[in-house]
Amino acid sequence: MNRASIENLRVAFVSIKSQVLRSFLTALIIAIGITALVGILTAIDALKSSINDQFSTMGANSFSINNKRESNKRQKGKKTQATPNVNYTQAAEFKKKFDFPASTSISCRPRGSAVVKFKKKESKPNIAVFGVDENYLANNGSALADGRNFTLTELNSSPHIALIGSEIATEIFEETDPLGKILLVGNIKFKVIGVLEEKGSSMGQNADRSVMIPVPTARQFFGYKNMAFTISVMTIGPDKLDLAINEATGLFRIIRQDPLGKPDSFRISRSDSLSQNLIENLSMVSGIATIIAFITLLGAAIGLMNIMLVSVTERTKEIGVRKALGASANTIKQQFLTEAVMVCQLGGLIGIVLGIIIGNVVAAMLEVSFIIPWLWIFTAIVLTFFTGIIAGFYPANRAANMDPIESLRYE
């Protein structure tokens, strides 16, 4: 940095210091725009992190393989042929042969709902029964509040054991500890070995009003012809998801004997599709927040330009003295541009601090770790710099073009 630049910084600082209130109010207008930008975008980053964390616990790094949804459309005058359901043999073969570093689960949902009974207490006929294996809970983001999960040995022997939802535990067993008790599901007796944590309802299903039994037992007592099975796969991390889907697609096409060049006869659904949709909607909010910040900065730039014009008029004599002492027009221009940029950077610094605080208040409410939005900090610095240049250019150019003789005579 040369001597002239250092002198311009010193003069700009002195000028800002001599007009503290005016400079602070101008910087505050800038700060509001930057606070809106950094604060909202930091909060959105916190929301994205929270969504990813929540869906990660729900299996966001997982996918499922199930029946292909058929449409009723006709192709070339012929009705499209429905693809067969994913059967147990195919699902079991996939689980055995899929050697990707991931957890694989098989599940099924028998038709209709069941009534469950304990002694004289009976539920409404709206209890969902699921056939699951030892990996189902982990792959689907469920957890046990009490008891234990199925073991691999138990799954091979078709035992009469069950895991029940939290609502069944409170509604049917009331004050009684359900573990080890015999529960009637329909007319079949099951020993309760675990109670699921409360999860609530989603996608029209209430997991708290469900009974989970081993897949072989479900096939034996609740199975029907062409019963469909679902395969769920959870990878060790979200970064492995796409690769796992490609591997699974190739393997299951072989198992299903899908002809080369023909579409898949099954459907693969990513569990993170909902989270991605939510994040895309948040990206729209990010765009709106950025537009709001730009509008605020535009208003701040107009205000700064007006104040700089007033400052140029008030310091006309000072400009004349500096020119008389040998200051060039370019030096005068740089002086006023430096002053405008300093005011904007001061406002930007205030806005960044306030924005980080506001954004992390939201992060704390969402129980997300502290976020330092480096991208938005850098963006705010660049925006305030160019705002200062744009707002200060006309006043600085006007000051640089003043006649030194007329300036010295100005009262």
Contact 312, 398 (CB under 8 A): yes
Handedness of CA 384, 385, 386, 391 (dihedral sign): positive
pLDDT at 379: 83
Residue corresponding to tokens 């944590």: 197
C-alpha span between 238 and 60 (Å, rounded): 7
Q: Are strands 201-202 and 210-214 parallel, antiparallel or unpaired?
A: unpaired
Vertex 180 angle, CA 179 and 181, to 5°: 95
Decide: helix, strand or coil at residue 228.
coil
Give the integer Cα–Cα distance in Å for 30 and 355.
Answer: 12
Residue 238 — φ and ψ, nearest 5°?
-60, -25
Separation CA 61–CA 203 (nearest Å)? 19
End-to-end CA distance of the chain: 35
Q: What angle do CA 362, 364, 368 make, to 5 degrees?
A: 100
Distance of CA 254 to the CA centre of its chain: 35
Q: How is the chain split among helix, strand and coil, in percent rounded to 5?
A: 55, 15, 25
Residue closest to 105 by CA, chosen among 67, 68, 69, 66: 66
Model confidence, pTM: 0.56
User: Residues 395, 311: contact at Cβ < 8 Å?
Assistant: yes
The predicted structure's pLDDT at residue 147: 93
Identity of the residue numbered 104? T
Radius of gyration of the chain (CA): 34
Residue 25, Cβ neighbours under 10 Å: how many? Answer: 13
Q: Identity (one letter) of the amino acid at 141? A: G
CA distances from residue 238 to 27, 63, 361 in whole angstroms, order as listed: 43, 11, 27
Q: Residue 6: in which H helix or E strand, if any?
A: helix 3-18
For 159, residues 6+ apart whose C-beta sits below 8 A from its C-beta are 191, 214, 217
Dihedral pair phi/psi, residue 57, rounded to 5°: -70, -20
Beta bridge partners of 284: none
* Domain assignments of the chain as residue spans, ordered by start: 3-55+277-408, 62-271
Are 211 and 40 a contacting pair, CB within 8 Å? no
Kindly give the pairing relationship between strand 182-185 and strand 116-118: antiparallel
In degrees, to the nearest 5, what angle opens at C-alpha 244 toward C-alphas 240 and 248? Answer: 175
Q: What tokens were used for 348?
A: 């930007």
Q: How far apart are CA 330 and CA 325, in angstroms?
A: 14
Beta strands in 2-156 (DSSP E): 62-67, 74-75, 78-79, 102-108, 116-118, 121-122, 128-132, 144-147
Neighbours of 243 (CB within 10 A): 12
pLDDT at 136: 92
CA atoms within 13 A of residue 168's CA, in its CB half-sphere: 35
Q: How would you write the pLDDT of the chain (411 residues) with one tens digit per residue?
A: 566 667 667 777 777 777 777 778 778 878 887 887 788 778 877 777 776 666 655 556 788 998 876 544 454 455 555 688 999 999 999 999 999 989 999 999 987 788 999 988 888 888 999 999 999 998 887 889 999 999 988 888 878 999 999 999 998 988 889 999 999 998 899 999 999 998 765 544 677 889 999 999 999 888 888 899 999 999 887 788 889 999 999 999 999 999 988 899 999 888 766 566 666 666 777 777 778 777 877 877 787 788 778 877 777 777 777 777 777 788 788 888 888 888 888 888 998 898 888 888 887 887 777 888 888 788 888 888 888 888 888 888 888 887 776 666 655
